[in-house]
Amino acid sequence: MAKRKTPQLFHNNPEALIAVSFFAAIAAGALLLKLPFAAVSGRALSAVDALFMATSATCVTGLSVVDIGSQLSLFGQLVILGLVQIGGLGIMTFSLLFFMLLGRRVSLCGRYCMDTLSDELDLDNFRFALAKIFTVTAGVELCGAVLLFAYLRHIHTLPGAVYSSIFHAVAAFCNAGFSLYHDNLGAFVQHPYVQCVIMGLIIIGGLGFIVIDELMAWVACRPGQVRSRLSLHSRVALTGTGLLIAGGTLGIWLLEKNNVLSGLAPPDQIANAAFLSITSRTAGFNTLSTGLLTNASLCVVIFLMFIGACSGSTAGGIKIGTFFTLLSVMIARLKGQRSASLFHRRLPEETVDKAMIVFVVALLIIFIMVFALQMTEAAALSRGQERGMFLNLLFEAVSAFGTVGLSTGVTPELSALGKMIIVLLMFVGRVGPLTLVVALQVRKSRTLKYEYPQGDILIG
């Protein structure tokens, strides 16, 4: 079968397609949330609040300026849920689309998604892979909803239990920390079953479709068949996820066992520390009050939010691949080695360059936006209050950029201008890194016909 040509829009300006698609979804969602019957009181949300909630949902963040369960009507809640689902599916679809458009093999990353890869998009393979994404998403969310329903049916009416199970299963898999409960998931601080279901959904959603698909193919290998090795991407994603979860859990438990965890039994302490470690990297659900955490714990959470989860997933942050690439470069340089490697595989220089660019750009964006928030939110405060506000605003900015959704409680108190800064951060944090990577992949480097004389500067 002859392959159809790829639309020129994808080749010439694919980053615009991503940005415009997300912007269109946000605009439509904001208009729907602005309708009077989207709110319980019948009084329409302000334009800023409607835009904020639509952006947070589409960018699968979870930051909220209203109590979804009590202030939004069923219609408003369904709009939020729909935007979360669209945002989560859109991220995975765009990642797969550009992987196919580039026609580049990354070890075994795409072998189970499609039959062949070429420099042109094979629409039949893309449709097959797209159908697989929808099937996997629906299957995981359905399983999560059934498991949640098994518990929630004891505390809700039957319709309420069904609705709450579906809402939280979709939000957890898409890594958006929206909840129908006024204290998020604080009511389940001593219910490890609910925590485990939510954690499982968050982790699966944070791995990304390519890793999930490889794992499914690996598990489904019949007896007697040789199991294909997982790709380098999948091995880094799984190992990095495990290390960050374990390290975050241990750090949070040590820092909070005499603070917010002090009133819980040891098993509940570990469960809640693990929950916060997992949700900090991407999801934004919380069983513990984030505002009551120690400053040291907030620093740990900021670190986890900045890293995020895996590329091609519904999570934000600079991504695990970026972090471990930079870590491997640092280790290689300290050993005096020229090439960085992971799992006995040398990393290409262009991969290292992309990781460094994403890292530096992320730091610059966060610095600029925190500075802007200091100007809009802390300018009218006294010197002592202003200093105390800095960590809260930094936490809020990193949470928005990492599309996490955790907050120390300042989100509803932000000024209109402050909310718009957070909206911009969520949009850039969700769309920016993805478009940046796509731009780096699509643009062909221009070979200069000359070189400047070599120079040197002092470092360190």
Instruction: State the pLDDT at residue 409.
Output: 86
Query: Which of 77-81, 98-102, 207-211, 290-294 is predicted least confidently?
Result: 98-102
Contact at 8 Å (CB) between 423 and 55? yes
Instruction: State the pLDDT at residue 89.
Output: 81
Mean pLDDT of the 150-166 span: 94
Mean pLDDT of the 289-300 span: 92
Instruction: State the pLDDT at residue 380.
Output: 62
Full DSSP string of 402-413:
TT----SS-GGG
CB atoms within 10 A of CB 111: 16
Cβ neighbours of residue 37 under 8 Å, at least 6 residues apart? Answer: 73, 75
Question: What confidence tens digit (pLDDT) does each residue in 227-257 have?
Answer: 677 888 889 999 999 999 999 999 999 999 9
Contact at 8 Å (CB) between 286 and 184? yes
278 pLDDT exceeds 70? yes
Higher pLDDT among residues 387 and 242, named by residue: 242
Contact at 8 Å (CB) between 238 and 207? yes
In whole angstroms, give the CA distance from residue 327 to residue 311: 17
What residue segments make up the domains of the chain, in order of their start?
8-219+230-442
Question: What confidence tens digit (pLDDT) does each residue in 443-456 have?
Answer: 555 666 777 787 76
Average pLDDT, the chain: 83
Question: What confidence tens digit (pLDDT) does each residue in 202-229 have?
Answer: 999 988 888 888 888 887 776 766 667 7
- pLDDT-derived band at 3, boundaries 50, 70, 90: very low
169 pLDDT exceeds 90? yes
End-to-end CA distance of the chain, in Å?
Answer: 59
- pLDDT-derived band at 460, boundaries 50, 70, 90: low
In whole angstroms, give the CA distance from residue 223 to residue 327: 38
Q: Which element (helix H / strand E) includes 346?
A: strand 345-346
Contact at 8 Å (CB) between 387 and 277? no
Higher pLDDT among residues 185 and 223, named by residue: 185
Single-letter code of the amino acid located at 252: I
In whole angstroms, give the CA distance from residue 82 to residue 107: 34
Contact at 8 Å (CB) between 284 and 399? yes
- Whether the full predicted model's pTM is greater than 0.95, yes or no, is no
Cβ neighbours of residue 413 under 8 Å, at least 6 residues apart? Answer: none
In whole angstroms, give the CA distance from residue 242 to residue 240: 5
In whole angstroms, give the CA distance from residue 101 to residue 71: 43
Question: Strand runs (DSSP E) across 24-166, as ranges?
Answer: none
Instruction: State the pLDDT at residue 98.
Output: 58
Instruction: State the pLDDT at residue 7.
Output: 46
- pLDDT-derived band at 181, boundaries 50, 70, 90: very high
Instruction: State the pLDDT at residue 19.
Output: 77
